[in-house]
Amino acid sequence: MFCGIGGFRLGLEKASADYKCVWANDNDKYACKIYRSHWKDGTLCEGDIKAVDPLAIPEHDLLCAGFPCQDFSIAGKRAGIEGTRGTLFFEICRVLRAKRPGYVFLENVRGLLSANNGRAFGIVLSGLDELGYDCQWQVLNSKDYGVPQNRERVFIIGHLRGKPRPKVFPIGETNRTYQKFNREGRVVTSAITENAHQFGKNVTARQTLDVATCLQILQIGHRTKGKLRLYEGKIPAMTQDYGTGGQNIPLIANALLPIGYRRIRRLTPRECERLQGFPDNWTEGISDTQRYKCLGNAVTVNVIEAIGRAFIKGQIGDGDTF
């Protein structure tokens, strides 16, 4: 549910061949266009989830949903579960009630934990509890899973009572398999920057720069009230507003060039794909504005893959398919 450009599906399929998607839904026509460009198997049901008959959804063992989070986010108005988008959680409950899958896998912003003084998260847990699901959850940060993005999200795994309980959380320091360290002990993550000619003239061309190099060569920051503020190596969480400009949009420049030659620019859609763990050009075929929006609304693929591996390792019921 709320499949977007396929971050859940891509992450789980990368985690194990045991995961097989049988149905997906979203009502954003641009996200659906991207989804269909990668999976032409007819599993996508485009349209309003409220109009979907849950009995028409194929039988499945695991229901995934990164349900719309704007009303829970600290960046929003904190309308919480009573907000228009927040009520979409109850669409998840409607499907769970009708289909009774053994497991449910949810994602939302960290603000879900504190929205409405914690009442929103309590409603989510009690709603799942009433449907017969016991839950475990953890806040994970994308920066710990191979991408230089400071993106904290809460992940919830629910299992239907009577089904084996997979031990997924906590995923701790010893389980962070995506981190690689250089000789100085600093984390080296995947390449995100475009070719060096993006930064200005007379720069030695590099096909890609890994993030460890990026931190030595690039200034990464954003403008606040006309002033450029720098980050310490990790770009803040992407939002759907990347393509519309304004404050707090990450900017990047080559710090080795003389000040007069430092071309400050925002991140490209391809770099944002890398920040979210998607392959290059995953979102091509739509306008850049829509690419930024779709990527800002997506889950980080690397984190989903890590959870998917932990789920498989933790426990799978005999005969279950995903």
Which phi and psi angles does 13 have, rounded to 5°? -65, -30
The catalytic position among 32, 45, 64, 69 is: 69
Please report which helix (H) or strand (E) contains residue 219, including its range: strand 218-224
Give rounded-to-5 percent helix, strand, coil for the chain.
35, 20, 45
Instruction: List the one residue out of 50, 74, 73 whose CA is nearest residue 1.
Output: 50
Judge whether 3 counts as a catalytic residue: no
Which residues, at least 6 apart from 9, have a Cβ–Cβ distance to it below 8 Å? 3, 21, 24, 39, 64
155 neighbors 137 (Cβ within 8 angstroms): yes
* Cα pseudo-dihedral 214, 215, 217, 218, rounded to 10: 90
- Name 254's bridge partners: 218
**Residue 165 tokens, joined:** 């309980």
Output the CA torsion 305→41→35→78 (10° steps): -70
Instruction: Kindly list the catalytic residues.
Output: 69
